């Protein structure tokens, strides 16, 4: 299924996985709105890269957790690029890593409302544009930690597992209206978010993976594009982790 000519909004696309998704979509002929929060220069660099290779792109600032900012962003993208047919929920919602016994409720609650709020408000902000055309595709970036948790990740695992449930619920409800909803669950992927992890930990994860390496942002982007091109797939969660989930 060709994606050429469509318009995509990718949240958190100034860096990491979101930036790679924006560039991969642009390479398929998609006009891309590159959402950023704090990294304005990085977002403009992504847009410049896309334009330099003949694509269409726009940098748009918005806090992906904020309903009013998301609605304003959706309207800006529609006015400048056209109706949004693809939404990639990628913005990284931060959380402290800590043992559950000491985990502060406020941090847990902020992660849950941030992650699920970004999905809820992001989808409702864009949905009218998809419903008007009875066509659309949404991909949420979840995490392998939703199903295979590790120490310190209680908030992240709960939020991402909730996001996967949300994806399946929306797939059911929106399918009859021509809108597909899927998730991509990356394993350890080398981005700024994982740069702080000790090399020993990263190597151990790679060694435990059938493909014997950790992910790159481009690996995840390729899977997002593949799901978007798969017109009969909805409600799915695709692990992108070198096969570590088989253990
Ligand atoms: N890296 C991994 O190993 C891994 C594994 C599984 C899942 N994931 C998921 O993949 C997604 C991307 O992660 P990443 O590793 O690419 O992270 P990253 O390199 O740290 O980049 C984070 C991106 O999210 C944006 N962002 C943060 N808060 C935002 C907000 N409130 N509103 C809008 N944008 C916001 C940042 O924008 P600014 O810089 O402009 O603020 C940046 O573009 C996340 O959902 C993460 O949970 C990552």
Quote the pLDDT of residue 183. 98
DSSP states of 95-112: -----GGG--HHHHHHHH
Give all domains of the chain, ordered by start, each with its CATH number: 7-246 (3.40.50.720)
**What CA–CA distance (Å, rounded) separates 25 from 47?**
12
Average pLDDT per run of 10 along the chain, which is 247 residues long?
97 99 98 98 98 98 98 98 98 97 98 98 98 98 96 97 98 98 98 96 96 98 98 98 93
Query: How many angstroms does the Cα of residue 176 sit away from the middle of ligand 1?
Result: 31
User: 174 CA distance to ligand 1 centroid (A)?
Assistant: 26
**Which atom of ligand 1 is nearest to 215's Cα?**
3
3-state class (DSSP) for residue 203: helix
Cα–Cα distances in angstroms (integers) from residue 86 to residues 16, 24, 112, 126, 153, in the given order: 19, 13, 24, 9, 29
Other beta carbons within 10 angstroms of residue 49's beta carbon come to 16
Are the CB atoms for 236 and 172 separated by under 8 Å?
no
Q: Centre a 10 Å sphere on the Cβ of residue 114 and count the other Cβ atoms it contains.
A: 20
pLDDT of residue 247: 85
* Ligand 1 residue neighbourhood (C-beta within 6 Å): 11-18, 35-39, 63-65, 90-92, 141, 143, 186, 188-189, 191-194
- Cα separation, 60 vs 77, whole angstroms: 8
The upper half-sphere exposure of residue 183, i.e. CA atoms within 13 Å in the direction of its Cβ, equals 26
**One-character DSSP codes across 121-173:** HHHHHHHHHHHHHT-EEEEEE--GGGTS--TT-HHHHHHHHHHHHHHHHHHHH
Exposed, middle or buried: residue 135 (CB in 10 Å: 0-12, 13-18, 19+)? middle
Backbone angles phi and psi of 87, in degrees to 5: -125, 125
């Amino acid at each position: 299924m060709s994606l050429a000519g469509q318009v995509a909004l990718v949240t958190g696309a100034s860096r990491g996985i979101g930036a790679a998704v924006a560039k991969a979509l642009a390479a398929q002929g998609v006009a891309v709105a590159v959402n950023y929060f704090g990294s304005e220069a990085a977002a403009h660099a992504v847009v410049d890269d896309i334009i330099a290779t003949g694509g269409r792109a726009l940098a748009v600032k918005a806090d992906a957790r904020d309903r009013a900012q998301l609605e304003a962003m959706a309207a800006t993208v529609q006015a400048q690029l056209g109706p949004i047919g693809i939404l990639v929920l990628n913005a990284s919602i931060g959380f402290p890593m800590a043992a559950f016994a000491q985990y502060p409720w406020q941090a847990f609650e902020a992660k849950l409302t941030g992650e699920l709020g970004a999905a809820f408000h992001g989808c409702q902000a864009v949905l009218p544009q998809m419903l008007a055309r009875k066509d659309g595709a949404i991909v949420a970036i979840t995490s392998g930690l939703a199903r295979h948790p590790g120490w310190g990740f209680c908030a992240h695992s709960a939020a991402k597992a909730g996001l996967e449930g949300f994806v399946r619920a929306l797939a059911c409800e929106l399918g009859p209206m021509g809108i597909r909803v899927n998730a991509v669950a990356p394993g350890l992927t080398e981005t700024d978010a994982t740069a702080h992890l000790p090399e020993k930990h990263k190597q151990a994860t790679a060694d435990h993976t059938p493909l014997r390496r950790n992910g790159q942002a481009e690996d995840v982007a390729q899977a997002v594009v593949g799901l978007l091109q798969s017109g009969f797939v909805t409600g799915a969660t695709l692990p992108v982790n070198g096969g570590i989930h088989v253990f």
